[in-house]
Structure 1
Amino acid sequence: MTRTPTGDLIRPNRKTNGVGVQAEDTRICVVMVGLPARGKSLIAQKVTRYLHWLSIPSKIFNVGQYRRSETPAPSASFFATSNPEGERLRRAAAEAAVNDMIKWFQRGAGLIAILDATNSTKERRRWIQNRCAAEGIQTMFVESKCDDPDLIMSNIREVKATSPDYKGQDPEVAAQDFLARIQNYEKVYETIDEDELDLTYVKLIDVGQRVIINQIKDYLQSRVVYYLMNLHIKPRSIWLSRHGESTFNLEGKIGGDADISERGEAYARSLPDLVRRCGDGRKLTVWTSTLKRTIQTARFLTFEKLEWKALDELDSGVCDGLTYADIEEQYPEDFKARDEDKYNYRYLGGESYRDVVIRLEPIIMELERSENILIVTHQAILRCIYAYFMNVAQEKSPWMEVPLHTLIKLTPKAYSTHEERLKADIPAVSTWRGKGSSAKHAEPTDEERNSMGKNVGSGH
């Protein structure tokens, strides 16, 4: 829910995607281009995840998945130019993917589709462009070019050797077969060049070391380009932690700029050891909000520290400093409305989760540019960042439990993000409240506040 300037509750316009773009006015097919093992599928997955996070409905149509329905585990010879049956089946798979994509657009299911395949010839790219143009669908080609043999081989071993095409095979044998597959594609591969200047395209060269942009035309295309220009696929991890338990946590209050409690202080002192246990000896940069409880929690870490206003907790407006019982009593309609649509509900004079996502976008871009970052921030902020990396649906993200005194390590992989959690042996109240639960049962009792176990409190 959001509010008018007079404070009246209104529902978001369901005809838009949350950023003011009318669904019926925008249909874009992002066409991946590149030799195998150049990170195309990784880029496609990342772009789709980013778009979902921004409330822009999108979907990947992977031609390889269509091909596997007929040829689940082909050898490299299937992709040879001298194999007409292989060529027929690959063409049929591409046609099936494009046909399903067009039907998806016709149903009004989304705004951006990503066609994930090599699309390695000018003839194939022109065919896709003509099919889309006939349906009123814009095309935007994204070519990933990379000649670094170490990066290519790393991608082969990490991704392709565990592909469904090589299920159950020896990884070394699979890698060699995939190298032979690449050689078959190289015989016919045509990079995007001056003959295709009428096309809208982005060329990412050597994992984004150079970016060439041509004929970008509208807002959503620009958003995709902005994201692509900030990507890198080098190995890295992101560490996430809430601040140590605060005095407001103990009192069941939300917002504010409280100090950490005695147990929060103990967590701050234990955090360097937690990081050492899962940090692999890497040099990290620590990001905190500008609020005291995050700065106090991070002060024993010996790494470089940066404070970000964008990492401050969700602004609870007139409810700042209140308990949920106070809110339920003083603003009963608001309390109910937030339970009904927590992602879109905006506190009077404050923010919604949707607002937080918008202000966190520069943080996400900086995270994509960076390598190893430790973020010490707040519950609502971590929910939004975690939802981005783990592709959590918007309606679920505000209800996720992100406990105090727990370090979360996220390691992005090609098709997913690996998660590890290390919990400090230091108790804290729980600030999680389930949907529909009464605020009266969300406040910690005196006994719970003094308990050394996991307790029940309240929070954003």
Structure 2
Amino acid sequence: MLQGSEMPGPAGVPQRKMTYFVPKSDNSNEQVRVPNVIALVGLPARGKTYISHKLCRYLNWIGIKTKAFNVGEYRRKACNLEEEGEFEFFSPNNARGQKIRDECARLAIEDMGKYLDNKEGEVAILDATNTTRERRKLLMEFCKNMMHEPPFRVFFVESVCDDPMIINSNITEVKINSPDYKGIMSQEQAKEDFLKRIENYRVQYEPLDEEFDEELSYIKVINAGKSFYVHNVNGHVQSRVVYFLMNIHLLPRSIYLSRHGESEYNRIGRLGGDSPLSENGLKYAGKLREYFENEDLEDFRIWSSQKIRAAQTASHLKDLAGHTEFWKCLDEIDAGICEGLTYEDFESRYPKQFAERDKDKYHYRYPSGESYEDLVARLEPVIMELERQSNVLVISHQAVLRCILAYFTNQNRDDLPYLKVPLHTVIKLTPKAYSCEVEMFKFDIEAVNTYREKPQ
């Protein structure tokens, strides 16, 4: 049964004709290839947008096409908080504010539905507070109506936090970087307004409940991952989401990436191999030690490839770290029958293979070797551990570090194999609520350029 109506909306909010469908029996749990909706739940400053961004990045990185729909962005397009009165706009007693927020939620949910119905992706993330049962019911009814075949499978992710230190850290991050406040008011004004906004949400907050929400699928992430409650997980995607969230890190830290120092094979342009460091590579290892002495990091760890050139580089810093570990999965991409060849040798001996690699470098697999796609699968445990750890230096190789850098900076597959990771350079990554800050520190030590431009 189909019902349609013109939804009245406040001035400034784009109007659409909303069509409602009578829900039918849900057989999505019995099917395998089902579109998934991941819906965030929780008060402001609980890391929801941070989780949304990281989850979206992770799923795309492992090959599950995903897009996030942030209701706050719809609201910012619809109205100006300076005109609406900042925190008062979020009061449950503000009828106009409530009307705008409800309409913006509907618009986001409708766009999310089109994205999945049009097969543009497999997973949609609804980044919103979803703090009331009424709002969650509206979402469930939309996802399980007759318009979608099969119905969308819904999984709620509730971020619960009562740790003052974590909440304060999140508020500090939001008040500096949130589009609601950046360039509009001072940090102290932003903090005061944001705390009042949280209280407005707290008045109407109805957490997910084991008894009331027995039919729903959800995970509660408690105090930034100190504990979890998982309920009624269905399907591969939801299982991967749970796996990822149980490794997520919500607190400030930095990740450092560095290639080994220049190797003898680098100097003569050969692929792969297991050659030692050149004289310039040894100088870099010494300078790398000086750099981390000045960083003076707490709980500092080093992870290194098992290749000689990486292990030599790591050995110069060993006493600075609490732990130094050598991972086989951090070894360079396996070039198979092309190991030890120069690019000129590769092109002359295997011209067809060389052309295939230029055509699609991400999916190209060296004969008897690996592709970048294989490398991403191999590196997933490293990504999971990086999400769990504090300050880590990863000493590895060009292709490996491209994959890790692509994960943290949300690069697509076409660009991943061409990211610039030069020798004798430290890349410092600092995950933020809305992005990942990337800083590159180039050391003044000569090294060959191993970068090969993307063919036009």
Q: Does the pair score TM above 0.5?
A: yes
The equivalent of 1:86 in structure 2 is 97
2:31 pairs with 1:31: no
How far apart are the structure 1 equivalents of 2:114 and 2:229? 31
SS in 1 for 2:180: helix
1:87 is displaced (CA, Å) by: 1.0
Amino acid at match of 1:186: R
Amino acid at match of 1:332: P
- Conserved 8 A contact 2:166-2:224: no
SS in 2 for 1:115: strand
How far apart are the structure 2 equivalents of 1:288 and 1:211? 31
2:122 pairs with 1:114: no
How far apart are the structure 2 equivalents of 1:36 and 1:429? 49
1:407 is displaced (CA, Å) by: 1.1
The equivalent of 1:183 in structure 2 is 199
1:161 is displaced (CA, Å) by: 4.5
- Conserved 8 A contact 2:299-2:390: no
Amino acid at match of 2:405: Y
**CA deviation vs aligned residue, 1:399-438 (integer Å, no higher than 9, x gap):** 122111111111111111112222221101011111238x
The equivalent of 1:64 in structure 2 is 72
- Conserved 8 A contact 1:259-1:293: yes
1:78 is displaced (CA, Å) by: 1.2
SS in 2 for 1:254: coil
How far apart are the structure 2 equivalents of 1:214 and 1:97? 26
Q: Report sequence identity in percent.
A: 49
The equivalent of 1:235 in structure 2 is 252
How far apart are the structure 1 equivalents of 2:416 and 2:76? 34
Task: Give the superposed CA RMSD.
Answer: 1.4
**CA deviation vs aligned residue, 1:208-228 (integer Å, no higher than 9, x gap):** 111111111111111111000
The equivalent of 2:271 in structure 1 is 254
Amino acid at match of 2:271: I
The equivalent of 2:409 in structure 1 is 390
The equivalent of 2:241 in structure 1 is 224
SS in 2 for 1:429: coil
1:156 is displaced (CA, Å) by: 1.4
The equivalent of 1:210 in structure 2 is 227
How far apart are the structure 2 equivalents of 1:87 and 1:394? 41
The equivalent of 2:357 in structure 1 is 338
1:325 is displaced (CA, Å) by: 0.7
1:393 is displaced (CA, Å) by: 1.3
How far apart are the structure 2 equivalents of 1:234 and 1:46? 13
How far apart are the structure 1 equivalents of 2:242 and 2:32? 22
**CA deviation vs aligned residue, 1:337-371 (integer Å, no higher than 9, x gap):** 00000000000000000000000000000000000
- Conserved 8 A contact 1:41-1:116: yes
- Conserved 8 A contact 2:161-2:222: yes
The equivalent of 1:297 in structure 2 is 313
Instruction: Please list, as runs of the form range in 1=range in 2, the aligned pairs for 1:18-417 lying within 5 A after superposition.
Output: 25-73=33-81, 74=84, 75-134=86-145, 135=148, 136-167=151-182, 168-193=184-209, 194-277=211-294, 279-301=295-317, 302=319, 303=321, 304-417=323-436
- Conserved 8 A contact 1:274-1:424: no
Structure 2: stretches of 5+ with no match in the other structure: 1-30
Distance verdict in 2 for CA 1:162–1:253, change over 3 Å: closer
Amino acid at match of 2:191: A
How far apart are the structure 2 equivalents of 1:162 and 1:392? 21
Q: What TM-score, normalized by structure 1, do the two folds share?
A: 0.88
Runs of 4+ in 1 over 3 A off after TM superposition: 280-283
- Conserved 8 A contact 2:177-2:434: no
How far apart are the structure 2 equivalents of 1:288 and 1:182? 43
Tell me the matched-pair count.
414
Structure 1: stretches of 5+ with no match in the other structure: 1-22, 438-460
